[in-house]
Amino acid sequence: MPMPRRFRRFVRPLSAEELAELTRTYKTSSDATLVRRCHAVLLSAEGKRVPEIARLLHVDQSSVHRWLDRFEAGGLAGLATEWGPGRTPRWDEEYEVLLVETVRHNPRWYGLEQSSWTCPLLAGYLAEQTGIAMSAERVRVLLHRHGIRLKQPTPVVHSRDPQYDPKGLGLR
């Protein structure tokens, strides 16, 4: 259980190596969150109090306390962002197999009127078949993962006019 924060809080004394590592990370890291956390620890090591650090960095005092706690528990590695597992995907391996098998056949094979697949058409068809609604962009990404890229169909104009081809050649 955390202690009340009514006392003056500073980070523990830093070794020369820790100070050098924090300074290097502060100056060179491309992770803005990590830079801000290093800055808070460095300011605390310089003797700045938590309310002042929070004001300078435009964050809440509880954030500064949490960062100092994390640094003291795990050093610089403790300041790194800890990502959660994220949301469970709506699709599974079975869906991907079905997607790849479906795209290998012409849409007419499945009773559709189109002669070639598009991502929105695939997404709609598979939503009807599986009950899993996916965006056209997600379908495109899943296909790309399997090395499949759908191309826009090029329209072909047909005419019953026997003079169609010669007429077209004369206009060009």
Q: Which comes out higher in pLDDT, residue 58 or 172?
A: 58
What 3-state class would DSSP assign to 30?
A: coil
pTM over 0.95: no
Domain-by-domain residue ranges, the chain?
A: 16-79, 93-145
Question: 28: number of CA atoms within 13 Å, CB side?
Answer: 6
Could you tell me which of 49, 67, 156, 138 has the C-alpha nearest to residue 99?
138
20-44 pLDDT per residue, tens: 999 999 999 999 999 999 999 999 9
pLDDT in tens, 71-117: 999 999 999 988 888 887 788 889 999 999 999 999 999 999 998 99
